[in-house]
């Protein structure tokens, strides 16, 4: 039986527009279950263990900003954590797609939900033949945001009859953590284009040019 796993994460919220959070981003990470990625996961865990890093799950945005559980980590240590997860994503046999809504253009949270629904619908209409190849599609989400949860269930069930939903915990799935980092990468790309990178982001990546050269270009190859 051909099974596809889809791990979903988001960046932003359904609240009003804020200069510090101008976008709502949803990332979908796709993994075909016939492809064994255990060695890739084991290598990531071993790299973290050898570096003496016990943080799990890895949350990339606070990692970059040196917030929360990362406040006692040096810049070098934080970059190592980020690079371990980034290189795992770059090498592992997965694909992804990010959906972006600019909140400045919205009227309210209903408008945001409508925009997301349109983006999801367009994506599935364009790629429906690919998804129909699978006997079973399992959607993993932590149901952290009710509005997104409703959109996910509505869209997937509208297009697919072989879909199942499973509540996931980030600490248990490295592909959840991959989805988190990909949301961050997408946000960084948007901010770099508009020269909106923060001081902490510029400190972490040195410059917008270095960010693009070392991270943004390579990860594009993984896009669905």
Q: How far apart are CA 190 and CA 202, in angstroms?
A: 14
Q: What domain count does the chain have?
A: 1
What CATH number is associated with residue 124? 3.30.420
Q: How far apart are CA 82 and CA 94, in angstroms?
A: 18
Domain that holds residue 58: 3-222
What is this structure's pTM? 0.94
15 C-beta neighbours (distance < 10 Å), count: 12
Q: Going residue by residue through the chain (224 aa), what tens digit of pLDDT does each one get?
A: 899 999 999 999 888 888 878 899 999 999 999 999 999 999 999 999 999 888 899 999 999 999 999 999 999 999 999 999 999 999 999 999 999 999 888 877 788 888 999 999 999 999 999 999 999 999 999 998 988 999 999 999 999 999 999 998 888 999 999 999 999 999 999 999 999 999 999 999 999 999 999 999 999 999 99
Would you say 223 and 97 are in contact if contact means Cβ atoms under 8 Å apart?
Answer: yes
Beta bridge pairs of residue 99: 26
């Amino acid at each position: 039986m051909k099974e596809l796993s889809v791990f979903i994460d988001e960046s932003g919220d359904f609240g009003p527009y804020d200069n510090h959070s101008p976008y709502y981003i949803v990332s979908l990470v796709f993994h075909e279950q016939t492809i064994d990625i255990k060695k890739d996961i084991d290598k990531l865990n071993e790299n973290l263990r050898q570096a003496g890093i016990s943080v799990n799950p890895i949350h990339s945005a606070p990692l970059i900003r040196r917030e929360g559980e990362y406040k006692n980590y040096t810049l070098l240590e934080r970059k190592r954590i980020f690079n371990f997860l980034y290189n795992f994503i770059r090498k592992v046999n997965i694909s992804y797609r990010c959906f972006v809504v600019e909140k400045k253009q919205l009227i309210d949270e209903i408008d945001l939900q409508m925009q997301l629904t349109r983006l999801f619908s367009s994506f599935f209409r364009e790629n429906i033949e690919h998804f129909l190849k699978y006997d079973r599609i399992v959607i993993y989400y932590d149901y952290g945001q009710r509005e997104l949860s409703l959109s996910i269930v509505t869209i997937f069930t509208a297009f697919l009859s072989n879909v199942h939903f499973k509540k996931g915990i980030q600490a248990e799935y490295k592909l959840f953590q991959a989805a988190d980092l990909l949301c961050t990468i997408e946000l960084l790309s948007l901010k770099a284009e508009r020269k909106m990178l923060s001081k902490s982001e510029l400190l972490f990546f040195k410059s917008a040019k270095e960010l693009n050269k070392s991270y943004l270009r390579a990860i594009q190859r993984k896009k669905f």
